[in-house]
Amino acid sequence: MELLFKHRNLPEQVADHIVILLATDKLKAGQRLFEKELCAMLGVSRIPVREALRILQAQGVVRTEPNRGTFISELNSEETSELLKIRLSVEKLAARRLALRAKDDPSILDPLQEALEEVKRRDKFGDKLASCQADLAFHSLMVELSGSNLLLPTWESLARGVLVFFMHERQAYYDYDTFVDDHERLMEAIRVGKLTMLDAVMEEHILESNPSKAKRT
């Protein structure tokens, strides 16, 4: 399995793997997690599994109930809306910072353009997980290139939950042309650097429901 982020320590890698199992429905929302089973599934000892579960609990992916155990969190519609609004706040700030940096050095966007091309390539193969990971990588790189030491760790605390959302969203509705068009419009808005337009594109990309996108096309 491909990890969500590079250069991770073992507990972080285990956390990534657990989230990928959740995103691919090998683990289900509400399911109880047992350390011994995760150790056998992932081929690691209990210590990194225990640390990974602590990380995921802090990020809201799992919850621990006293005297009952650890369970995969079940986000209701209100909590999902909150996740998207927090994500929007972080990414909007990052995109604005990146757009301003790109005015002085347009080449700073070259890696993001490469990430966009990877999104397009992966999508053509019909592999939902690979497509969602490429999508996450694009947004992660956008935040990283913004140069903010505050936004990046905040984004990384959201990213695992965002991947799960991407996968579930992709199962409910997906249109390749609309998906690619959204990312290209976002990329162009950053390149042009008109902040009002950029805010509008970002809000549409993150908050607009997929059925609404379908009506737009």
In-domain check, residue 192: yes
In-domain check, residue 5: no
The pLDDT, as a whole number, for residue 21 is 92
Structure tokens at 69: 């155990």
Going by pLDDT thresholds of 50, 70 and 90, the confidence category of residue 174 is low
**CATH code for the domain in which residue 143 is found:** 1.20.120.530
pLDDT digits (tens, 9 = 90+) for 196-208: 999 999 999 898 7
Q: Are residues 40 and 140 both part of a single domain?
A: no
Is the pLDDT at 107 greater than 60, yes or no?
Answer: yes
Amino acid type, 210 = N
Residue 62, classed as helix, strand or coil, is strand
Lowest mean pLDDT among 1-10, 120-129, 182-191: 1-10
pLDDT digits (tens, 9 = 90+) for 109-162: 999 999 999 988 886 666 788 888 999 999 999 999 999 999 999 999 999 999
Give phi and psi for 71, each to the nearest 5: -130, 150
- Evaluated on CA atoms 61, 64, 70, 72, the torsion sign reads negative
Going by pLDDT thresholds of 50, 70 and 90, the confidence category of residue 5 is low
Is the pLDDT at 53 greater than 90, yes or no?
Answer: yes
The pLDDT, as a whole number, for residue 166 is 85
* CA distances from residue 64 to 33, 72, 106, 146, 204 in whole angstroms, order as listed: 10, 9, 46, 35, 35
The dihedral formed by the CA atoms of 13, 167, 153 and 46, expressed in degrees to the nearest 10: -30
Give phi and psi for 58, each to the nearest 5: -65, -25
Domain boundary among the residues 54, 72, 90 is at 72
Q: Are residues 93 and 142 both part of a single domain?
A: yes
Give the span between the Cα atoms of 102 and 54, in whole angstroms. 38
Going by pLDDT thresholds of 50, 70 and 90, the confidence category of residue 17 is very high
Q: Are residues 65 and 157 both part of a single domain?
A: no
Q: Which residues contact 63 (CB under 8 A, 6 or more apart)?
A: 57, 70, 71, 73
Range of the domain at 166: 77-216
Which residues is 72 bridged to in the sheet? 62
**CATH code for the domain in which residue 40 is found:** 1.10.10.10
Q: Are residues 46 and 122 both part of a single domain?
A: no
